[in-house]
Amino acid sequence: MHPERSDAFVFFGSTGDLAFKQIFPALQALLRRGQLDMPIVAVGRKKLGIDELRARAKKSLTASDGVDSAAFEKLSSQLRYVVVDFDDAATFGLIREAMGDAKHPLHYVALPPEVFEKVATNLAKAGLAGGARIALEKPFGHDSASARALSKALHASFPEESIFRLDHFLGKESVENIAYFRAANPLLEASLQHEQVESVQITMAETFGVKGRAKFYDSVGAVRDVVQNHMLEVVACLAMEIPSEKGHVALRRERSRLLARMDALSPADIVRGQVRGYKDEDGVAGDSTTETFAALRVTIDSARWRGVPFHIRVGKQLPVTATEVLVRWKAARRPVLEEQSPPAPNHVRLRIGPDAVIAFGANVKKDGEAMVGELKELVLQRAPGDAMKPYDRLLGDAIDGDATLFARQDAVEESWRVVDPVLGDATPVYLYEPGSWGPAEAARISPPDGWSNPS
């Protein structure tokens, strides 16, 4: 991989929804920090004038963080627009012209995965792959076989070290903090193993539904959309061995090793649900069996975690919008002093969103003469959210060539291996009511000490 920082930002999908909601605000943030002093080449199939694209960018910024006049002036001056035909490699030569003297572009591809190979191939044919990096939005395939085929196709044009597989969840400060919190606190790290931990549960709950993504969502479902990537990445950050050496290579290696130790799921490890009314959405098949909810039980074949269940619960139209990890340690086996039953188990709670929280649960004596206790939480950190938005960080890291927060090929393939046996209609789908915590059948996958519902 070339050591140089990228010197042009080539942006496929510039007229899409993701660009409007996330990428233009991220570009403004990068410009404000002085990280984007280079040509910005927007690429699309729509015939737009540059003034139309600038107006769209301004509308995006107005709807998001607001327009920074100085940063927007820079964005406007650096922005180019190129119309390409994905079936005509010759049109990709226009990108070369728009880049000017740049030799090490970052090609950011915010397009459906079925065109990844075509874009990579045409970039190579136009002489735009050598010395370049390519950043791709998830999903990376729809199962193990397609993920392997996609990587093989991409490697024909770009070496693995130049491919940045982008999943915004890894760019969250609160996800990155999981590994730091473990590594920096030996007392905590020493207790994260099967002799001490009773269970781990991860909940990703959303009050909203498919929000205009119905056609896409009906082709993937909750397991493909957020479990295979977001949730298994969180498990990997929480359960991996902490590397002794510095740098992104070691960190990514340990995440991949952990995923390789996950046991593949079986139908007994999952309950799928579909929220009532989902099939009324435009773009959803009338006989759809796509899940909008899933509860899963994951196990890890390692000396550290053998026998510890990792429970994952994700769903649309649940009571709250929150993503949270709860590690419960094993409870005391007998009552303490005058208590009639053992005290509550200790826990650590890691809130990933929408706010960021790290809290310990411990037992303390209640006020009064009786020697009995109660569970209290000590909040170590509470923040309204990530100080830096995920796309600000990830695009900046890709420009710098820092791959720490990007998924490796083997990690992607291993995560697909884990979920492959339960994809599609491998298990029944059960109805649940909007605003509930999923179908009653999900109780079969409940942690041994019960779910903790985020508030």
The runs of H, that is alpha helices, within 223-348 are 232-239, 248-261
Peptide bond into 113 cis (omega under 30): no
Residue 147 tokens, joined: 């993920």
Beta bridge partners of 186: none
Q: Is 107 a catalytic residue?
A: no
Pairing status of strand 293-298 against strand 133-137: unpaired
Residue 365 tokens, joined: 């004596």
CA distances (Å), origin 348, targets 163, 201, 326, 351:
35, 11, 6, 10
**Around Cβ 84, how many Cβ atoms within 10 Å?**
20
Residue 227 tokens, joined: 């479990």
Backbone angles phi, psi at 241, to 5 degrees: -75, 140
Q: Which of 230, 248, 311, 347 is catalytic?
A: 230
- Can you say whether the dihedral through the CA atoms of 309, 421, 323, 138 is positive or negative? positive
Backbone angles phi, psi at 182, to 5 degrees: -65, -55
- How far apart are the C-alpha atoms of 213 and 158, rounded to whole Å? 31
Beta bridge partners of 79: 40
Q: Among all residues, which ones are annotated catalytic?
A: 230
